[in-house]
Amino acid sequence: MSDVLDADEIAAELPDGWHHDADADEIARTFEFDSYLEGVGFAAGAGGLAEEAFHHPSMTIEWRQVEVRLTTHDAGGVTGKDIDLAERLNELAE
């Protein structure tokens, strides 16, 4: 079981571009792209990383942007699993 991080720990570990939605108990980032299909491709790649980690984000694909939201349902809050996947998603988007 992963340990839930408190707000200070989340703030200290948040990868670039991500913010802590304390009300939703999630971390989130909206990735922006030059085209809708680039966003779709990113989401597909993110799905692959999610399956690899067996840790799955919520993703909303919109015009030239994808909002990604992460929390660890099994733990009831944000854990290191969310931070780790967020970092990998940042690398994917580079």
Ligand X SMILES: C[C@H](O)[C@H](O)[C@H]1CNC2=NC(N)=NC(=O)C2=N1
Identify the residue among 54, 63, 91, 94 touching ligand X (CB under 6 A): 54
1 near ligand X (CB under 6 A): no
- 3-state per-residue secondary structure call for the chain: CCCCCCHHHHHHHCCCCCEEECCCCEEEEEEECCCHHHHHHHHHHHHHHHHHHCCCCEEEEECCEEEEEECECCCCECCHHHHHHHHHHHHHHC
Q: How far is the CB of 54 from ligand X (least distance, A)?
A: 6
Contact between 3 and ligand X by CB under 6 A: the answer reads no
We find the least distance from the C-beta atom of residue 73 to ligand X, in angstroms, to be 4
User: φ, ψ for residue 65 (rounded to 5)?
Assistant: -160, 150
> Which amino acid type is present at position 39?
G
**13/72 with CB nearer ligand X:** 72
74 binds ligand X (CB under 6 A): yes
Binding residue for ligand X (CB under 6 A) from 56, 64, 69, 88? 56
Q: Which residues bind ligand X (CB under 6 A)?
A: 54-56, 71-74
